[in-house]
Structure 1
Amino acid sequence: MGGTEHLTVQREGATLVLTLNRPEAKNALSLPMLVGLYDGWVEADADDAIRSIILTGAGGAFCAGMDLKALAGKGMEGQQYRDRLKADPDLHWKAMLRHHRPRKPVIAAVEGYCVAGGTEILQGTDIRVAGESATFGLFEVKRGLFPIGGSTVRLQRQIPRTHALEMLLTGRPYSAREAADIGLIGHVVPDGTALEKALAIAGQINDCGPLAVEAVKASVYEAAEMSEADGLAAELKRGWPIFDTADAKEGSRAFAERRPPVFRRE
């Protein structure tokens, strides 16, 4: 498993847990963190034994956005990381899930601050859990900046446009309850238990057929860019082959035999 000084990687059964690990800066984004994140997404997709991914933060915070010192050209420590970014100038956007989508489901487990770049990364995740004291928001306009991590495109597709525009144009903070009310997150849990809840959801996903899970995720995002008619046609094209897999036959057989299925990605 990979990781960097600002990003830790841990296996919990069939789940890969990526932890933003710069608590002294409320996990503000750094180049080592972004390189570690990108490598984590790649590792998860390359390993068929991994069925889900959790993204969380250390020290009671998720991510406070970009380190403004780093944005000004300071604090980008480590020549090896600069070399990685030079070799792939898009690496930081892929790390932030701006235009990179892992094929495995990604669950966000949020505690504390999830603002600016943190809320932008959040939009690239699939399922979202937050502690009740978590804080969300896109603060860029308050600093004269632009949320260039994809929020002006994606946020209005994930929550009602009026709420998206209010979040984008006011730069104000949102509580976890308010974020849930507008549909930005799915679960609000007691503080300190977001990772526990995320692991429970991941366990439910891991018990399902991995080929089916990945095909369903891909179909949902593919159809979101299509008309209903085109989406339904694409769904059949992607979904019918799943019925011919050994995993599908195993699922039906296990149901009939009243036992847990053993899926083999076949």
Structure 2
Amino acid sequence: MGGTPGTGTAHLTVERVDATLVLTLNRPAAKNALSPPMLVGLYDGWLAADADDDIRSVVLTGAGGVFCAGMDLKALAGGGMADDAYRDRMKADPDLHWKAMLRHHRPRKPVIAAVEGPCVAGGTEILQGTDIRVAGESATFGLFEVRRGLFPIGGSTVRLQRQIPRTHALEMLLTGRPYSAREAERTGLIGHVVPDGTARAKALEIADQINACGPLAVEAVKSSVYATAEMTETDGLAHELEHGWPIFGTADAKEGAKAFAEKRPPVYRRT
């Protein structure tokens, strides 16, 4: 009990689709509000994806046409949870909930968010820890904390201004108002708006494109992007050379060139 890595929990479903691990927030009756079982399952899912070299990408989505309505404060305080094992896991690692929400953990595999319905408060905060974002037309976003006299402490006062223009970040943070999917796309918070009910399919389509690429190259590129984000251009370019050149010496790089010459799909072996 309390979550076995990679198998999911009562509130987090784990599914393998080819080379993609799909993590589904599964508490639709509560609008997928974050609970101890969900947070434990999420963190274990991130670890399982990192540990399995056959997994090349992760899709994060929600069940029941909802992404996530934020924290369930009652559940996190201990109310309404029949299984103490989840709370024991969280007590044993006081940072677990931040790792689950991608505040204190960055998976080495690309993470694609597939959003349907509400993605607000803690949902929008988790979203900022993902790499690529797809939303259904009726999806809604927002950081409502200030309306309740609270602080969006999942990382939004730091991350949001680095992901979208500061004027948009401050408006979202300081008004606490909801944003439509189209408005979120215009600000740059999400990358694709698709018909309702198709966000997961679009996310899996993007995942398939990533999965067809060299996994060592993909992971090195993702790592470099985040590592250099706050560096000067000079330091960032030096880091890129240091971490990018070794990729050219891999067997996968040779396979990519050979496959191109032979006009066939490459077969990458992570070597």
| 8 Å CA contact retained: 1:32, 1:77 | no
Displacement after TM superposition at 1:99 (Å) = 1.6
Cα contact 2:25–2:32 (8 A) shared by 1: yes
For residue 113 of structure 2, give the secondary structure of its aligned residue in structure 1.
Answer: strand
Matched, 1:233 2:238: yes
Q: What is the CA-CA distance between 1:166 and the residue it aligns to? A: 0.3
**Is 2:84 the partner of 1:79?**
yes
Q: 2:38 aligns with which of 33, 38, 53?
A: 33
Among 193, 202, 214, the alignment partner of 2:198 is 193
Report matched runs for 1:155-170 at 5 Å: 155-170=160-175
Given that 2:78 and 2:87 are in contact with CA atoms closer than 8 Å, whether structure 1 keeps it comes out as no
Percent of matched pairs sharing the same residue: 83
TM-score, normalised with respect to structure 1: 0.99
Aligned amino acid, residue 210 of structure 2: I
Deviations 1:16-52 (A, max 9, x none): 0000000001100000000000000000000000000
For residue 106 of structure 1, the aligned residue among 103, 111, 128 is 111
How does 1:131-170 map onto structure 2 within 5 Å? Answer: 131-170=136-175
Tell me the TM-score normalized by structure 2. Answer: 0.97
Aligned residues of 2:35 and 2:76 also touching (Cα < 8 A)? no
Distance 2:223 2:97 in 1: 23
What does 1:203-222 correspond to in 2, within 5 Å?
203-222=208-227
| Aligned residue in 2 for 1:51 | 56
The equivalent of 1:19 in structure 2 is 24
Any unmatched runs of 5+ in structure 1?
none
Residue 73 of structure 1: CA displacement? 4.3
Q: CA deviation at 1:68?
A: 3.1
* Displacement over 3 Å in runs of 4+: none
1:221 corresponds to which letter in structure 2?
Y
Conservation of the 8 A alpha-carbon contact between 2:36 and 2:76: no
Q: Distance in 1 between matches of 2:208 and 2:77?
A: 41
Residue in 1 that maps onto 2:265: 260
Name structure 2 gaps, 5 residues minimum.
Answer: 1-5
- Classify the secondary structure of the residue corresponding to 1:54: strand
Structure 2 SS opposite 1:226:
coil
Number of aligned residues? 266
Partners of 1:214 and 1:36 lie apart in 2 by 23
